[in-house]
A and B are shown apart, each in its own frame.
Chain A
Amino acid sequence: MPSTRITEADGSAGHGAAAARPWFRRMRWRGYGPLLGLVLLCVVGTALNPDFATWDNWVNVLARTSFIGIIAIGMCFVIVTGGIDLSVGSMAALIAGGEILLMNSLATSLGSPVAVIALGMVFAIVLGGLFGIAHGLLITRGRIEPFIVTLGTLGIFRALLTWLADGGVITLDGMLSDSYGPVYYATPLGLQVPVWVFAATAFAGAVLLNRTTFGRYVKAIGSNEQVARYAAVDVGQVKLLAYGLLGACVGIATLLYVPRLGSASPTTGLLWELEAIAAVIIGGTSFRGGSGSIAGTVTGAILLSVIGNVLDLTSIISVYLNAAVQGVVIIVVALLQRRRT
């Protein structure tokens, strides 16, 4: 695989050394494919229902995108290393359940709800990071394909949550729910908290991927793991960190998700993995790894939720065809992107 990748790779850009001329240009176009798709979709959406272009609607769309978006940013790193994580939706569900159970039990011993919530939030990020590192260890030390490792944990995480919930719902205690609510619903400077966190995560992700040694190593491993190894990159450690980072992103997304409904159930985070992976790939990151774009990932995530939003705001198409419309838009955007590169 690695040896064929070198020859195939000049079609997929990101190979700084291999294709010096068009590299820079290609990277710029990459962001435009999904952006163009998004703009077109917004024009169509506004034409179909002027309410689409209202501020309130955009706040809703951005807030609901933020969970998938934050996870997709972490996923982008993992995919750039040439890996994948199928478990993120189940992981989010298990973290949500664990966080709620912890907070409920702390509420009686610890008096202040603020302290309980702070601890719960830290717990979510740490637990996510640990899950990610466990994936990384199984993949690097255990030498198991990431697809298999995370397919396994996909089942494990969700089953554990279902078991903890006795098949039903884990609900946050009423008083805590009220104090935790603002973490999702509050609107500092006109935007909901998750949107700000999403923006901050995207910014940090972009800096990390494009401006740091870690980011360069991530790309190097994705383009050719063997060469990266020869270049004295600690491949195992970088991968471990990439999976850990994704886990922490899942933790952040979850701590923002929990206050929305104040509950976790076996349907929490269902199919989030597909949405997150789709956002990354629509955004122009190569599935084979080696290169990726955070801006594209963010655009891809927003695009995915805008499709659903436009469909909800109109009823010209039979509801039975909604999934087909989503499929068509995704493929068209992918085509736009190929044309541009």
Chain B
Amino acid sequence: MRKTESDHLTRRHLLAAGVALAAMSALAAPPARADDAVNLGVSIPAATHGFTAGIVWWANKAKKDLEQAHPGLKITVRTAAGAPQQADQLQDLTIVTKINALVVFPFESAALTQPVAQVKKRGVYVTVVDRGLSDTSAQDAYIAGDNTAFGRIPAEYIAKKYGGSADVVSLRGIPTTLDTERWNAFTGALKASPNVKILDGKYANWNRDDAFKVMQDYLTRFKKIDVVWAADDDMAVGVLKAIQQAKRTDIKEVFGGAGAKDIVKAIKDGSNPLLQADVSYSPKFIYDAIKMTAEARLKGDKLPPTYIIPSVLITRENAAEYYFPDSPY
């Protein structure tokens, strides 16, 4: 599809731009350590649900692939169960492991700004992933998925496909800024189509079981539903089961989010008529972030200060490009 090609193009452009930028500012950029080795620390949330499991898997894959490709590179991956633990690990990575580059996926923006700033103060090159810090001077580069597009793309898709008129129920994740950003983008984009009615949006904690319950209750409450915006592929699984149990035939489509492999496969194979499209928000971005940071630092380069990995509409035509059978997610 045109959109993905442009996505690759922008990525290539950006890398090229990054190289050019680095060439220009080669003198200004702090050179990598004298022995030319990059000791890269990766600090990410522990695998507590499908998406973070994907993050951990892709981070470890990056370690394996990149250490093999670059003998001068050492990558240390640490997973944390909460913000305080992550702050402790950052300290250990800096002082004990003596990293000189860091890729961090912060649990929370505010709580980790100070710990990350401390790391940077010691001369470590810091790439922040996904959740921005409250003080951006604590980071050298910021790489993130596009949460606005995560909400906007399904809204536009639904409005277009159903001719601007549909009854939609939606699920929300866990009350966080991330979830609110997606929700606001979704509802905001649907303001243009007043006949697409959002009947309700309840939290189901990015969890299959809670999504099953909430969907059962939606089915009791609303006699006609056209589309379910499940807002996450794990939640979509619970939603599909609830619809199947209630034997409801009015629902035409369930739109998840993030591009979990089972859902992408179903879209690719056309095996479930309710699953026709998805929006990408792949945990693979941690792989890209580690790769970009490591390769730039090996050359002593810098990354562009902000890089948004675009979220893309996945349909049957391009699903194969987003299907990673080996990843747990």
Contact = CB atoms under 8 A, between A and B. Distances in A.
Nearest to A155: B81
B50 interface: yes
A58 to B, nearest CB: 10
A167 B53 contact: yes
A64 interface: yes
A9 interface: no
B273 interface: no
Contact of A167 (B52, B172, B212): B52
A139 to B, nearest CB: 26
Interface stretch (B92-100, B197-205, B290-298): B197-205
Interface residues of B, number: 37
A266 B237 contact: no
B220 A266 contact: no
Contacts of B213: 64, 308-309, 312
Nearest to A262: B241
Given A261-B237, A265-B208, A49 B216 contact: no
B203 A322 contact: yes
Interface string A301-313: 0000000110111
Interface in B119-155: none
A166 interface: yes
B323 to A, nearest CB: 15
Given A167-B56, A312-B214, A267 B207 contact: yes
Contacts of B238: 261
A320 B213 CA distance: 18
Contacts of A169: 50, 328
Interface residues of A, number: 32
Contacts of B209: 260-261, 267-268
A183 B54 CA distance: 31
B220 to A, nearest CB: 5
A286 to B, nearest CB: 30
Interface in B39-59: 47-50, 52-54, 56-57
A266 B49 contact: yes
Contacts of B48: 162, 266-267
Contacts of B3: none
A47 interface: no
B202 A312 contact: yes
B221 A49 contact: yes
27 contacts: A49-B221, A60-B216, A64-B216, A162-B48, A165-B328, A166-B53, A167-B53, A167-B54, A167-B56, A167-B328, A168-B53, A168-B329, A169-B50, A169-B328, A260-B241, A261-B209, A261-B241, A265-B50, A267-B48, A267-B207, A312-B213, A312-B214, A312-B218, A312-B221, A313-B217, A319-B201, A320-B175
Ordered nearest first, which 3 A-B pairs have the shortest CB separation?
A168-B328, A167-B53, A167-B47
